[in-house]
């Protein structure tokens, strides 16, 4: 009789210990974003499952009604780029495009294909991402796209360089959101468009975060090297605060993107072999990723997090006559 009780106690203790470990974030921000993405790129698991686009996908109401798992996960990401481009209201043929926080360059290459007469530049902190992005551009015969290792807060470009500044899921990693917005605005040409997509925490307003909210946010900050999130309303304030942007608008695309979190888990369930063959270190890391993906889903589902879409135009320079 004692043996089953001891076994049950052992299982409970193991479960409690596992939960304790997985509930403790392991990759807090410490100027380590480039190193983290170097590691993810070298491992190859993220690219295997997510394809060339390291961002969430887009699901229409009809697709969600049929079941998100019926949609191709990688195609959903491409659809997001097309929807973001449409929403940006940028000019018909932007000559120079900046992809600020480009990952391995999936969006940069898609924009280069969409605008063959444009020059697209992608920047990232990760040398491995630049290497991989350049390889894929060469394979796809895209001479109008280039990738550079560059800090988005210390960009080396001249003022008023780009017709379109594009930032998709890079703001999460920025330790200074104000400087991030100001830097992108500086390199944007007068009359040009800026469009930002980023995970945001809700605006507190008259509903302060509970202790549970704060604990959940802390985990989401510290598991994937995020210094902090801000609200989409704060992004609007930052954009308007530059004094250079007009027609600033925001939307919440949680409904269109939330299925990506669990869809990401399912693609691994359907095809686990790359992880299986990578060995115990990747097994552990993958389990942590699954836990974080589910916690992200729940945070967005209950309104703690929002998917912020922001856009604006840079004001034209006034030319005064003598």
Measured CA to CA, the distance from residue 39 to residue 293 in angstroms comes to 18
Quick one: which H or E segment has residue 183? helix 177-187
What pLDDT score was predicted for residue 250?
98
Q: In this structure, what are the phi and psi dihedrals at residue 273, rounded to the nearest 5 degrees? A: -70, -35
What pLDDT score was predicted for residue 2?
59
More confident residue, 235 or 224: 235
CA angle 304, 309, 310 (to 5 degrees): 125
Q: Mean pLDDT, the chain, as a whole number?
A: 92
At residue 17 the predicted structure's pLDDT band, cuts being 50, 70 and 90, is low
Provide mean pLDDT across the span 132-161. Answer: 98
Report pTM.
0.91
Radius of gyration in angstroms for the set of CA atoms belonging to the chain, rounded to a whole number: 21
Provide mean pLDDT across the span 143-159. Answer: 98
Report whether 269 contacts 49 (CB < 8 A). no
Q: How does pLDDT run across 285-304, given as a tens digit for each residue?
A: 899 999 999 999 999 999 99
The token duo for 288 is 């942590």
How much of the chain, in percent, has pLDDT values that exceed 90? 86
Measured CA to CA, the distance from residue 54 to residue 46 in angstroms comes to 8
CA angle 210, 211, 216 (to 5 degrees): 95
């Amino acid at each position: 009789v004692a043996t089953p009780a001891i076994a049950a106690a052992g299982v409970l203790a193991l479960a409690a210990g596992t939960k304790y470990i997985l509930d403790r974030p392991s990759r807090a921000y410490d100027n380590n974003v480039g190193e983290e993405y170097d590691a993810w790129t070298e491992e190859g698991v993220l690219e295997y499952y997510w394809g060339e686009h390291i961002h969430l996908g887009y699901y229409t109401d009809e697709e969600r009604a049929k079941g998100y798992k019926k949609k191709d996960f990688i195609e959903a990401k491409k659809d997001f780029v097309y929807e973001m481009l449409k929403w940006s209201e940028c000019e018909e043929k932007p000559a120079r495009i900046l992809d600020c926080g480009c990952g391995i360059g999936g969006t940069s290459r898609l924009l280069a294909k969409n605008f063959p007469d444009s020059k697209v530049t992608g920047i990232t902190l990760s040398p491995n991402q630049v290497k991989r992005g350049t390889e894929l551009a060469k394979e796809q015969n895209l001479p109008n796209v280039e990738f550079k290792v560059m800090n988005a807060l210390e960009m080396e470009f001249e003022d008023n360089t780009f017709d379109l500044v594009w930032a998709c899921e890079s703001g999460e990693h920025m330790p200074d959101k104000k400087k991030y917005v100001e830097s992108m605005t500086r390199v944007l040409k007068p009359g040009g468009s800026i469009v930002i997509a980023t995970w945001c925490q809700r605006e507190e307003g008259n509903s302060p975060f509970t202790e549970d909210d704060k604990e959940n946010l802390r985990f989401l900050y510290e598991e994937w090297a995020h210094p902090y999130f801000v609200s989409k309303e704060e992004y609007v304030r930052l954009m308007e605060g530059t004094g250079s942007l007009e027609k600033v608008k925001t939307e919440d695309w949680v409904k269109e993107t939330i299925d990506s979190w669990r869809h990401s888990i399912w693609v691994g369930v359907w095809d686990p072999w790359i992880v299986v063959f990578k060995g115990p270190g990747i097994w552990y890391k993958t389990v942590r990723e699954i836990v974080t993906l589910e916690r992200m889903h729940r945070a967005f589902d209950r309104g703690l997090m929002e998917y912020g879409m922001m856009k604006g135009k840079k004001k034209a320079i006034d030319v005064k006559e003598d």
